[in-house]
Structure 1
């Protein structure tokens, strides 16, 4: 998650529990950053005029005046894709078509650049069946969206951990697991990394310029569906 998205998300998190506070430590855990980063973000929001104040004490933290803040109207690219994945998992349920219509309406009011980025990001998500309900680390998801290289600690089936520098290309989801599909510099080729085996993650400043081709997945084309926001 980039800083702009995190600032929006911070305000929304505080609005959701207002007038109760959230501690810097709790917010740091929620957004997978340090408490110091949260404090800097809160300071930036306060300087921008967002009515956030600090409540002292053991149960204190940061709180926002809900009556004087408005939620963001538009979705981020990642939020639009998250909705599309959730809709895909509904299969042929009674509200599938209504959900797809709602997503199209939201995409229609997004800024054109954001909508285009959402469609590009959706094109990097490939699904077999409905896709899993398993979580994906926010740092990994953010690197795929931002097109940044990663340094991973990755455990194989035997639990042996190796360090890999990879160029994220997209995600593959089967009914059980999510896989990060990436160019592995150690193996000099495309590899799929099961996300629940990914340990330490460091985002690198290097941009990713490679694109994932369907035949890179080494899976029969008829079994894989690329996520669409159309």
Structure 2
């Protein structure tokens, strides 16, 4: 781990020219004391790093110094292969590996390309942390130790013991056969089997993980895309799914359709509004989706949904009425 960090430190100085100990500590996710120790180790190893004093000082390399330590390690190569974005890498606990790999990729570029590539990269932003309405897009946090243990079991083909907190259940230990990992909208999932049955576990709900020495009972090859589609289909068609008949303003149609599991039928009323028969995951999902559309939609059936929306609207009206 320290050897990789020392290489990253050198590459950061090559990339930026001069950086303070505090800036290096932020980039490497260590303390400033660790950075100072690393600088001493580099100097002792013959790397020409020196300190510049003053308000805008910091550490730098002698001009013209170049290192050939640009080879990617396993985790860095994996991060580049599976993480098309920074958020994808974070979901699998590969964020630091991706940052280190990108430093090495930039350093390996011919000098004539390096500045051009860096300038082009400044013109691109993928998956910012907030949207246009300044709503923060919060990715689920998965501790590095847990993510690393799950990754090892998946790649080694070993069984995995996890302490899992399912929704509305007390956490308990389960032994599973891991198949693969999927990330969807900043959420990571472990696809596995348990006692031969398909199971899907959200990584953020795994409280602890332990790779076992026993080989996993799984096929040698897997089509993760197909497996995910099949599980998604079962999820949508199982449980407490409800079907709703709703009228909606055409201008809000896409918003409604995007929240529904499926649209079974669609027609146009005489006033131009659309009449849709749509499936939702459960009663709460249906009530939430219709409430978002305010007066631009009307639930026609089932009756319990109309009553639920009426009661919610009445409660809001009472709260903000003149006498409140």
Into which bin does the TM-score normalised by the smaller protein fall? 0.3 to 0.5
Q: Higher relative contact order by CA 8 Å / sep ≥ 6: 1 or 2?
A: 1
- TM-score, scaled relative to structure 1: 0.46
- TM-score, scaled relative to structure 2: 0.35
**Higher gyration radius (CA):** 2
